[in-house]
A and B are shown apart, each in its own frame.
Chain A
Amino acid sequence: MSTVTDLVQWGLRGASQPRRRALALRVGAVLAFLGLWSLASGLVVLLDLFNPIFLAGPWLVLGKVVQLAANGQLWEHVGATLLRVLVGFTSGAVLALALGLPAGHFRAVRNALEPIVELFRPIPPLAMLPLFIVWVGIGETSKITFITYATFFPMFLTTVHAVQQVDPLLLRAASSLGARRTQLFFRVVLPAALPEILTGIRLGVALSFFVIVISEFIGAEQGLGYLINDGRNFFLVPQMLGAAIVLGLLGYGGNALVVLLERRWLRWEHPPSA
């Protein structure tokens, strides 16, 4: 990806050259993987190793995805999954920041929250899913709550750590330049903690896609997890693989969004060398 400043500086060639080579390498690797996959599924058919229904070739899977996309079903499922992830993750992130920032900054808040968080943290979030279903029903709310719950812990803990780790000398420097309490928080603590907070957010995004599938296995009518589970009931291997790949792409996209934010907000860590 080349930024405008890169383009201004280097033109269309120059610095972007190694990047283009990296891109070529990536595309090549994907193509090679698809080739191997085709080969494997082709051999299964040729040599009659086992029922070819279990290992559908990439073109079958792709065909299925295209078909689902064309008749509009895919978008409904993608939309349902994305909406749950978006709402669940956002609430998890807001909660983690709202509690984590003060907990990192004030020892009293930290001491009050720590035992509660430590009590729940070792419980695998999955163990809580049936409880959420009992409490709030099997519908959207339990799925969203589940994502919020699962993503809260890593984001909360990284936020607390990030704020605690802020170099006290930076606070001294700012206060001797006249910064007051709130200015210290917004102009020093927040920017200094941002890199680690974003790392936590990245973890949270990955985790949301991880746990949404599980909750969509149970009592969902829509969503990519439902599509996989539904495929299992009817031995629709192309549908299962197709849904899994679409999920992977969504997760990749989510990660790419956070990376984009990091590039933009953390330019100071790796500024383009002039």
Chain B
Amino acid sequence: MSTVGVGGAGGARVQIEGVHKSFTLDGRSAPALIDISLEVQTGELLCLLGPSGCGKSTLLNIVAGFLPPTGGRVLVDGSPITGPGPERGVVFQEYVLFPWLTVAQNIEFGPRLMGVPAARCREITARYLEMVGLSEHATKFPVQLSGGMKQRVAIARALANSPSIVLMDEPFGALDAQTREVMQEELSRIQRVEHKTIVFVTHSIREAVYLADRVVVMTSSPGRIKEVFPIKLPETRNRFAPEFTHYESEITRVVKEEVAKVHE
């Protein structure tokens, strides 16, 4: 486990240096990621786009410390990671809530582990419950929640642990369009205050342009970096501004090329 301390507000720098990843299937080694080098700046929100199966979750798992890379390395604030750690919060594509804990207990799981006093835990929980709009559901168990509600608990659980880096794997994938926009606005509002370092995987180009400081488009499997788009838009973004739609169509063109390759 890494020794990097838990940051409150503020992020940390993530350097992904020449990362390769191969999986062995039936004795044959198949590449999933090829030569990924990226630097995510402190306080930057970086969006990863790419066709299904191109290795976005794999890359996130490597940065989280769940999977060792086959080659290359990942540094956080200059020191190589050796495993998962609380300074890197994760929101999983599959939610992964603890089914035996209530919504509130799931959210305070991290703070409780850290020995945060009970009263402070309650404050934190209340704050994040409110943020994700689940205050009414604090005492429910995960089996009683819809997919979108589970996803929001997973987001609250990751943020309540105040990580300096947040790795989010399609965190809004299960939400309806309206809730999704509300959550996007909420995340960008949090980001303006807390300046965390965020790696955000999504399939929605609009979402990427709305949230990201930079958008990274990956090639179809095996994943490489195809193109990086710095998004030079004001912090508060208007989805209907001409510059916004310009980025959108530009990125769509590049993503489509790769998605087409999957179906060849």
- Contact at A176–B100, with CB atoms within 8 Å? no
Interface string of A241-274 (1 = CB under 8 A from B): 0000000000000000000000000111111011
Q: For residue B159, give the distance in angstroms from its CB to the closest CB of chain A.
A: 11
Q: For residue B233, give the distance in angstroms from its CB to the closest CB of chain A.
A: 31
**A172 and B141 in contact, given A177-B161, A178-B114, A192-B100 (Cβ under 8 angstroms):** no
Question: Smallest CB-CB separation from B157: which chain A residue?
Answer: A177
Chain A residues with CB under 8 A of B158: 177
Which one of B89, B98, B114 lies within 8 Å of A176 (CB-CB)? B89
Which one of B94, B100, B113, B143 lies within 8 Å of A179 (CB-CB)? B113
Chain B residues with CB under 8 A of A176: 64-66, 84-86, 88-90
- Bound: A179/B85 CA distance, A: 8
Which one of A175, A191, A266, A274 lies within 8 Å of B98 (CB-CB)? A191
Chain A residues with CB under 8 A of B144: 271, 273
30 pairs, CB–CB < 8 Å, chain A vs chain B: A167-B96, A169-B96, A170-B98, A172-B84, A172-B90, A172-B96, A173-B96, A176-B84, A176-B85, A177-B89, A177-B113, A178-B6, A178-B113, A178-B114, A178-B161, A179-B113, A188-B98, A191-B98, A191-B100, A192-B98, A192-B99, A268-B99, A268-B100, A268-B101, A268-B141, A268-B142, A268-B143, A269-B99, A271-B141, A274-B140
Q: Which 8 A-B pairs have the closest CB atoms?
A: A178-B86, A177-B110, A175-B84, A268-B141, A176-B84, A176-B90, A191-B100, A173-B96
B229 sits at the interface (CB 8 A): no
Chain B residues with CB under 8 A of A175: 1, 83-84
Chain B residues bordering chain A, tally (CB within 8 A): 32
B109 sits at the interface (CB 8 A): yes
Question: Smallest CB-CB separation from A183: which chain B residue?
Answer: B113
Chain B residues with CB under 8 A of A169: 92, 94, 96
Q: For residue B114, give the distance in angstroms from its CB to the closest CB of chain A.
A: 6
Chain A residues with CB under 8 A of B90: 172-173, 176
A174 sits at the interface (CB 8 A): yes
Chain A residues with CB under 8 A of B161: 177-178
User: With A178-B6, A178-B161 given, can you name 11 additional A-B contacts, CB distance below 8 Å?
Assistant: A173-B92, A173-B98, A176-B85, A177-B86, A177-B157, A187-B109, A188-B98, A266-B100, A269-B99, A270-B143, A271-B143
Question: Smallest CB-CB separation from A188: which chain B residue?
Answer: B98
- Bound: A180/B110 CA distance, A: 11
Q: For residue B221, give the distance in angstroms from its CB to the closest CB of chain A.
A: 22
Chain A residues with CB under 8 A of B142: 268
Q: For residue A169, give the distance in angstroms from its CB to the closest CB of chain B.
A: 5
Chain A residues bordering chain B, tally (CB within 8 A): 26
Chain A residues with CB under 8 A of B140: 271, 274
Q: For residue B197, give the distance in angstroms from its CB to the closest CB of chain A.
A: 15
- Bound: A188/B99 CA distance, A: 10
Q: For residue A267, give the distance in angstroms from its CB to the closest CB of chain B.
A: 8
Question: Smallest CB-CB separation from B65: which chain A residue?
Answer: A176
Q: For residue A168, give the distance in angstroms from its CB to the closest CB of chain B.
A: 9
Within 8 A of A (CB), among B67-95: 83-86, 88-90, 92, 94
Q: For residue B142, give the distance in angstroms from its CB to the closest CB of chain A.
A: 8
- Bound: A90/B113 CA distance, A: 32
**A170 and B143 in contact, given A175-B83, A176-B86 (Cβ under 8 angstroms):** no
- Contact at A172–B86, with CB atoms within 8 Å? no
- Contact at B64–A172, with CB atoms within 8 Å? yes
- Bound: A176/B142 CA distance, A: 19
- Bound: A234/B78 CA distance, A: 87
Interface string of A180-196 (1 = CB under 8 A from B): 10010001100110100
Chain B residues with CB under 8 A of A179: 113
Q: For residue B12, give the distance in angstroms from its CB to the closest CB of chain A.
A: 15
Chain A residues with CB under 8 A of B86: 176-178
- Contact at B143–A269, with CB atoms within 8 Å? yes
Within 8 A of A (CB), among B113-164: 113-114, 140-144, 157-158, 161
- Bound: A170/B92 CA distance, A: 10
- Contact at A170–B109, with CB atoms within 8 Å? no
Q: For residue B123, give the distance in angstroms from its CB to the closest CB of chain A.
A: 18
Within 8 A of A (CB), among B213-239: none
- Bound: A269/B100 CA distance, A: 8
Chain B residues with CB under 8 A of A192: 98-100
- Bound: A268/B142 CA distance, A: 8
Within 8 A of B (CB), among A133-150: none
Interface string of A198-234 (1 = CB under 8 A from B): 0000000000000000000000000000000000000
- Contact at A172–B100, with CB atoms within 8 Å? no
Chain B residues with CB under 8 A of A183: 113
Q: For residue A125, give the distance in angstroms from its CB to the closest CB of chain B.
A: 34
- Bound: A112/B130 CA distance, A: 50
